[in-house]
Amino acid sequence: MIKYIKESFEELSNHVTWLSREEAQKSTVVVAVFTVLFAIAVFAVDYVFQLGLDNFFTMFNN
């Protein structure tokens, strides 16, 4: 197990290509913006469906 952990750290240190700090920050901002936009879109669709269902069921309650 210890050999595996040492080899994993060596792999991460020497063989993995990491993004620069600036690229990582830009990517994080892009992901955050699209996450917020997607959440707003899901909220809007949910709201529209909820209004539609409310109106549909009130037609049969009267």
Q: Considering the entire predicted model, what is its pTM?
A: 0.65
Tell me what pLDDT residue 29 has. 98
Tell me what pLDDT residue 62 has. 65
The whole-angstrom distance between residue 16's C-alpha and the CA centroid of its chain comes to: 24
Enter the tokens of residue 17.
């290509």
Tell me what pLDDT residue 13 has. 87
d(CA 21, CA 18): 9
Q: Structural domain boundaries of the chain?
A: 2-61
Tell me what pLDDT residue 5 has. 93
Pick out the chain residues at pLDDT < 50.
none
d(CA 23, CA 28): 9
Helix residue ranges per DSSP H, the chain: 2-14, 21-61
What is the per-residue pLDDT across 51-62, written as a single tens digit (0 to 9) for each? 999 999 998 876
